[in-house]
Structure 1
Amino acid sequence: MLDLTVDGHVHTAFAAGRDSVSILVAAAEQIGLTEVVFCDEAGPETRWLPSYLASIQRARRRTEVVLRAGIEVEAIGTDGWLAFPADLGGLDMVSVAVGALPMSSGLAGPEAVRGLLDAGALAPADVVEMLVTVSSRAIERVSRYAPTRLARPLAFLQRAGLGDTDLDSAALGELTAMCRRTNTQVEISERHQAPSKRLARLFAADGVRLVAASDARRADEVGRWRHVEQVSGDLAPVGG
């Protein structure tokens, strides 16, 4: 079910990472990867996209590894609006992330949501519903402009102190249906260990394509799997 020779989410020194595109490509070549997707965090104030795209294009001429140019953008509105950069031209894909939960009162980080849960102002089902709805609306919006992926899916729940048991298959159904409708691929994140094996199986059972993603910040993290490998092994019976 998962091609472990493909790393679908790698960060460079242009944003959250430490190493240059060329160093990351060399690391990918060394361990035998066939494809790398660069996916730096970008937003409305990002000015480095032309240099980023040019660096990836130069690297393509020096390697047999397939290199794809992507960015990671945050959902920031309850309607699925995202913190888009000014221009999405030249990108092979856009990866959607939810680092803070958009609410009517504004963005709420995991600690703030945990506080609302502890105070009884929110129920776990409320958080699940908001997160699934925002994620679904965000990928639908992005899919109008570029091939779309969902980064570290539902990892916000873990960070807010909620677990797998707070998300049933019915709640997940809205999100998997939107992924299928928009041809959105779901990343299995090594760094964030999300989604869990259980949720990955539910995505796969609903016909959503899964992609191995290291979320690497350094060259020595590219294509290095533990969680992803465990998920892959757990998915094998489903694939069969």
Structure 2
Amino acid sequence: MNPLADLHVHSTFSDGRDPIEANIAAAEALGLDALGCVDHVRVDTDWVPAYVEAVQRLRGETAVELRCGIEAKLLDTTGALDLPDQIEGIDAIYAADHQVPLAEGPTHPREVRERIAAGDLDAAAVIDAILTSTARALDRPQRVVIAHFLSILPKIGLSEADVPLDGLERLAAETARTGQEIEVSERWRCPSAATLRPFVRAGVTILLSTDSHKSDTIGRYDYCLAVKQELGTG
């Protein structure tokens, strides 16, 4: 968990305020040694080749190590991601719970919350769907980062305390088996140290990230450092 790295930062290629160049300048000013360029994609995104070319070009202009990543939402319990066909040159895919990945497909959190309240959906089954979709998204040739894990829970009236330990342990084991990673997100203030402990025990690499959408918040940690201290990681 390197506090001199910010491995999830957005640019104007998707919904960030600033271009990659400005994000790099902010990282340089802070003395960061690594920056994760990460932008949102969908199945119809067509700018990935231009994005990859931009990051590759800028690698020659900075001492900051640049990761070229894309963020895609989990779609369903098969582990499918909302990805375009062309992702050549991408270093990492950030798998994110932007909606609830149920068996029938991505479902708006408001609908899920209402269905849980009405008794049409079981909260434990929803949590299991999130864990299952995340685990199944990991087994692919690209590096995968579990992005802002469980950030969807408050939107559906649940919390990390509702997630069973055995479910976390199974996901941690799968993350370790596939050699993938999980982040601590400053923006989303998740996951907690308690949620991350099974991943630490499994030897999973844990990244620090701000999920910044503005260059002036890059590399500025509060929540992430508190989690790092609670876990006692180096």
1:83 and 2:82 equivalent? yes
Once the two structures are superposed, residues 140-163 of structure 1 have per-residue CA deviations (whole angstroms, 9 ceiling, x without a partner) of: 2xx23x111110112111221111
1:135 and 2:134 equivalent? yes
Match of residue 145, structure 2, among 149, 173, 189 = 149
The 3-state SS of whatever aligns with 1:155 is coil
| Separation of aligned partners in 1, 2:154 and 2:166 | 19
Which residues of 2 match residues 23-34 of structure 1 at below 5 A? 23-34=22-33
Contact 2:49 2:87 survives alignment (8 Å): no
1:167 and 2:163 equivalent? yes
| Separation of aligned partners in 2, 1:59 and 1:213 | 20
Equivalent residue for 1:73? Answer: 72
Unaligned stretches of 5+ in structure 1?
A: none
**Deviates further, 199-208 or 57-66:** 199-208
| Separation of aligned partners in 2, 1:45 and 1:105 | 21
| Separation of aligned partners in 1, 2:225 and 2:133 | 29
Number of equivalenced pairs: 234
Contact 2:78 2:103 survives alignment (8 Å): no
1:117 and 2:112 equivalent? no
CA RMSD between the two structures: 1.4
| Separation of aligned partners in 1, 2:80 and 2:105 | 13
Tell me by how many angstroms 1:196 deviates.
1.4
**Deviates further, 61-70 or 195-204:** 195-204
Work out the percentage of aligned pairs sharing the same amino acid. 33
Name the amino acid aligned to 2:202.
Answer: D
Contact 2:102 2:126 survives alignment (8 Å): no
Equivalent residue for 2:18? Answer: 19
**Deviates further, 161-170 or 224-233:** 161-170
TM-score normalised by structure 2 residue count: 0.95
| Separation of aligned partners in 1, 2:65 and 2:104 | 43
Equivalent residue for 2:224? Answer: 228
Equivalent residue for 1:206? Answer: 202
The 3-state SS of whatever aligns with 2:68 is strand
Q: Spell out structure 1 runs of 4+ moving beyond 3 A.
A: none
Once the two structures are superposed, residues 97-156 of structure 1 have per-residue CA deviations (whole angstroms, 9 ceiling, x without a partner) of: 12112324432121111111111122221111111011111122xx23x11111011211
The 3-state SS of whatever aligns with 2:67 is strand
Equivalent residue for 1:92? Answer: 91
Tell me by how many angstroms 1:199 deviates.
0.9
Contact 2:74 2:95 survives alignment (8 Å): yes
Contact 2:76 2:104 survives alignment (8 Å): no
Equivalent residue for 2:215? Answer: 219
